[in-house]
Amino acid sequence: MNLKKLLIIGGIVLAVVLMVGITVVHNAQGVVGVQMAKVKPQDLTSTVTASGQITPKTFVNIGANAMGKITKLYVKEGDQIKKGEKLAQLENVQSTADVGAQRAMLSANEADAIAADAGLKTSIAQLNRDKADLGQKKLDYDRAEGLYRSELISKADYDARKAAYETADANVAQSEARIAQSKAQRDSAQGHVTSARATLTRFSDLLNKTVYTAPFDGTITNLPVHEGETVVMGIQNSPGSTLMTLADLSVITAEVRVDETDIVNVKLGQPAEVTIDAIPKKVFHGTVTEIGDNAIIRSTGVATSQSTTGTEEAKDFKVVVTLSDPPANLRPGLSTTAKITTASRSHVLAVPLQALTIRQAKDLQDNADKKNNVQAAGPASDNQGKDDPGKKELQGVFVVENNKAKFVTVETGVSAVTDIEVLSGLKENDTIVTGSYKVLRTLRNGTRVKQDTSEVRPDEQKS
């Protein structure tokens, strides 16, 4: 009897356990474990990060202007230089000789020009004298002609005065021809002077190019040559020798390359934080002062305007950040990273970036709506789907209401590193689904959800 009672009690307990288990399993069907978070106001800062190197705002690579041997270097790397100070001297024996010879030739040509000018003046004076003599001879001839007609003088006297007049006229013509000749000689002499001066200017320029002076105050930051080396000028497609680099270190910049997808957000005057690899754990501040207009091909460093072929390679844009507090020991060429603040918002609603998801409009309809839509649409046509509103993609988040995930479209604003501003669609203290990525990728509108407190695997967070 006792055994029978025990069996009956055991059967009842087993039945209860089975019923409870079936109820639990039934209730758990369709429930998805998710991570949740409350929507809270935050301060957001949108940044663009780019790498590059430290460069002085003003610098010049002093290259060879002439071919020759370096006979003297007046500076060494690190020297502080004043504008006009002599930097280097090339061998100039031949250039000096050419200048001296040309100066002598110019002096000779100038003397010839003076002589030619004096000869022209003499010819002009002779012409004036011959014209005066011709006038006198003309008066004598006219008087003699009247007297001869009156038979008051002999024909011999008349002929003598006539010959004297004709001789004076010929002398005037000769003097005029001499003047033309003198003018030509003077013009030729002046042309020789002009040519000699031009040649002297050329030789003097070549001589001056053997001496290098500082174009502005600065510091010698690079000196790759030594005394006794021979330097050459650059020609097409072949750069010449660089003697040294002079930089004005009073204004230091970080020249970085910003990805083409981020450059639209960068504006002049935006603040930036600059870190330098050689000076760890220290942040310098600066301002964007220059934004390049030409894209630079990342693999070659050549501007797209200089590329002869089209390319789909990744491109960057040059951005210059001027440092406001550069240290004294900063050197050009140091690797640097700039974090440019492109936008900032205070006390705005924000959600984690991973909470944002994309759904098609048709995926948000419930089963009843889908059935009605299918019946109303009738047979599929060839054009169905091309302009189908149901395929429109919507951006939004899943809001948890009554333990169900409800898709809500949102309008977003500034994006920070981990969070993004929400302009519309949510309100403070709304509970949203934030993960995992694997769940968000397949989560459907209206699905029952529960808080998943288990640790999220790293592979589930990857997008």
Count CA atoms within 13 Å of residue 415 on its CB side. Answer: 9
pLDDT value at residue 460: 41
271-324 pLDDT per residue, tens? 999 999 999 889 999 999 999 998 888 888 788 777 666 667 888 999 999 999
Model confidence at 26: pLDDT above 60: no
Label residue 329 by pLDDT band (50, 70, 90).
confident
pTM exceeds cut of 0.75: no
What average pLDDT is seen over the chain? 84
pLDDT value at residue 389: 65
Label residue 32 by pLDDT band (50, 70, 90).
confident
Distance CA 190, CA 302 (A): 52
Distance CA 75, CA 218 (A): 12
Per-residue pLDDT, averaged over 351-358, amounts to 90
| Domains along the chain with CATH numbers | 31-42+348-376+389-461 (2.40.420.20), 50-59+250-346 (2.40.30.170), 94-208 (1.10.287.620)
Q: Which residue has the tokens 């009156």?
A: 150
205-240 pLDDT per residue, tens? 989 989 999 999 999 989 999 999 999 988 777 788
Model confidence at 146: pLDDT above 90: no
* 377 phi, psi to nearest 5 deg: -75, -30
Q: Cα angle at 451 between 447 and 457, to 5 degrees?
A: 100
Model confidence at 24: pLDDT above 50: no
The percentage of the chain sitting over the pLDDT mark of 70, rounded to a whole number, equals: 84
Looking at residue 388, its amino acid is D
> Regarding beta strands 315-323 and 242-259, do their DSSP bridges make them parallel or antiparallel, or are they unpaired?
antiparallel
Whether the upstream peptide bond of residue 436 has omega within 30° of 0, thus cis, is yes
Reading the block at residue 90, the tokens are: 């090339």
Distance CA 262, CA 315 (A): 11
Q: Cα 357 vs. chain centroid, distance in angstroms? A: 38
Model confidence at 459: pLDDT above 90: no
Distance CA 218, CA 251 (A): 11
